Chain A
């Protein structure tokens, strides 16, 4: 009975692992597959080559897409963290008229899926003349990140005893100095969460960059990769596979490295009691 149980449990886990690994190994193998289209990409390729990777860099603007995405990701992480931290700090530590109202307002705003306002953003950016610029994407991402994350970070900061910053004020430390020397170092985990999740944004997001950025050279990776297989037959499939692997590997590693912070961040957003 015990043996049977043990075998069944392990069998289930092994099957799940195989199902998980199947698409992953297929795409990795496909990226080394000789041949171009999807039709030639059987589960186990007959011949291996690195040609797809070479083609990727020679025939497409992959490097440009990569550096565009990286730039947007880095700037987005930095601006978002600054904006979120300052707002959350003020909301957590200072009392002012309208605080409750503004917190509730941003809460409701955070529930409006950001891409539903894309027509307006498109028209607005055309009016402002910044359509097509990567900067405009950073603006949308970082201001869009404020509402939800402010609530998250505020909850975290509320957990840091106020007596610590009061002691600093007693020693004559100014408001911003207290913020930088006490609040910031104490909120490293939540800052890591915000920074990593904002850094990921442009790597995954397809809709906004597809709408806002124009021209092949301004594309982000998500848009560029998608364009490779948008036709039904996927004739550039193996090249897509190579591109996908190059994006997925660093992002996956980043996720696994920061796993602890990401999990904490997600559960902090939904903590009861």
Chain B
């Protein structure tokens, strides 16, 4: 039999043995074997398999007596079988399960690498008739895998703190993890697509969802385009030759961008307070109004208020960006337009607007995506209110993301919140991806 097959077959059972015996690469073989040893050792030392083999455990249950890996998978599949405080804790089991599966994927990766390497090393020896030392192999490997070595710790960090929580959220959508089934007292179960059908079949859920979704879209469009065009207006006006003290105006108008957003929002929340707010007081004193305006508590007025306050917060950013664009536009364009008899408005429409739109297009779309998830404005100003009894856990000004927040933190409807997360993610993800595909950074990677 050929060396490569001997090497491969023995490595299938004992990791690294092919490299060790058939190819005389001792250290490398030992390293692979060590990984196998660690996996087996961890499983056995954390579980009670030996006692089970000896027949010491009559009623064997993986959830109690299994090792790290078997218990993890068992927990992931069943989400626990014995309820109660001293029983299984479903969400911990789910998290552990995800971690175990991620580690197992890494182990499988090493295993496959071990197999491929065993085969290749055998082949190499057959071809050249020479044995390669482990040392040379590592040297070559370091040169070749520098990137992997540097990125592995960072990758682990991302997997644990970014990817794993996302996986958990996504999976929650397929369970009944909500306030009726809270661990540790109760068990959580897999329910398949039940939550998704609930969203569209149960009237209160679907009507709330579509209402919130509609307002989210309106809010996103209004918030983005109002700030964009108002910012553009200010930039164009500041650029005008009639304006002196440009720096002073700009310095003042830039302030909302520089002040921490949360603070500004809380200030507005108080300023517009329907009962005690100074704006209402002022309007009353002057005599413009006879009764206080419910800026934040009337469904329609609250929506307008949120958009206007967002305009205050958001226009400076676009103003700065568009000012940058304007200074890049070649002045001779305007001069030749003026020679052709174009007036100010015409040259704005034909020259300024297209150039600015082209340059700030991606930014505009990024802003759309950002406002779709614009949690701050709604949460800090109105907290989603005023409340509406016909809506499930949502208020009149709630957008999807603040609704999700409420469902998670105030009402513990984790399963439905997760369903909404997925919908939101698909929506935002596809818009952003479409936008991003046209940027330079993306093209460089894919071409």
Residues of A in contact with B (beta carbons under 8 Å apart): 2, 5-6, 9-10, 12-13, 16-17, 19-21, 23-24, 26-27, 37-39, 41-43, 83, 86-87, 90, 94-96, 99-100, 102-104, 106-109, 111-121, 123-124, 127, 139-140, 143-144, 146-147, 151-152, 154-155, 158, 175, 200, 203-204, 206-207, 211, 222, 225-226, 229, 233-234, 237, 240, 244, 247-248, 251-252, 255-256, 259, 263, 266-267, 269-273
Contact = CB atoms under 8 A, between A and B. Distances in A.
Given A107-B433, A112-B425, A144 B317 contact: no
Contacts of A211: 409
B162 A100 contact: no
A225 B263 contact: yes
A120 B169 contact: yes
Interface string B140-160: 000001111011001101101
B263 A94 contact: no
B429 A108 contact: yes
A101 B237 CA distance: 46
A171 to B, nearest CB: 19
B408 A39 contact: no
Contacts of A237: 270
Interface string B406-447: 001100001001000100110011001100101111101110
A13 B238 contact: yes
Nearest to A104: B445
Given A20-B256, A113-B424, A113-B425, 7 more contacts: A10-B243, A17-B252, A117-B169, A120-B164, A143-B160, A211-B409, A267-B324
A38 B273 CA distance: 9
The 8 nearest A-B residue pairs measured at CB: A117-B165, A120-B168, A120-B165, A255-B258, A270-B362, A6-B242, A155-B441, A143-B161
A147 B162 CA distance: 9
9 contacts: A23-B264, A23-B312, A39-B276, A109-B158, A152-B441, A155-B440, A155-B444, A271-B440, A272-B438
Interface stretch (B114-122, B126-134, B214-222, B277-285): B277-285
A10 to B, nearest CB: 6
B282 A43 contact: yes
Given A26-B267, A37-B276, A17 B249 contact: yes
Contacts of B276: 37-39, 233-234
B254 interface: yes
A267 B98 CA distance: 38
B366 A270 contact: yes
Interface string B163-201: 111111100100000000000000000000000000000
B95 A120 contact: yes
Nearest to B161: A143
B421 A116 contact: yes
A121 B266 contact: no
B203 interface: no
A20 B253 contact: yes
Given A87-B154, A266-B363, A113 B271 contact: no
A263 B254 CA distance: 12
Contacts of B158: 106, 109, 143, 146-147
A207 B375 contact: yes
A112 to B, nearest CB: 5
Given A155-B441, A204-B261, A237-B270, A90 B92 contact: no
A204 B440 contact: no
Nearest to A98: B148
A17 B271 CA distance: 18
A42 B278 contact: yes
Nearest to B366: A270
B352 interface: no
A267 to B, nearest CB: 6
Nearest to B268: A23
B110 to A, nearest CB: 15
A263 B327 CA distance: 14
B347 interface: no
Given A13-B249, A112-B166, A116-B424, A20 B312 contact: yes
B259 interface: yes
A271 B148 contact: no
Interface in B48-104: 91-92, 95-96
B208 interface: no
B255 interface: yes
B321 interface: yes
B267 A244 contact: yes
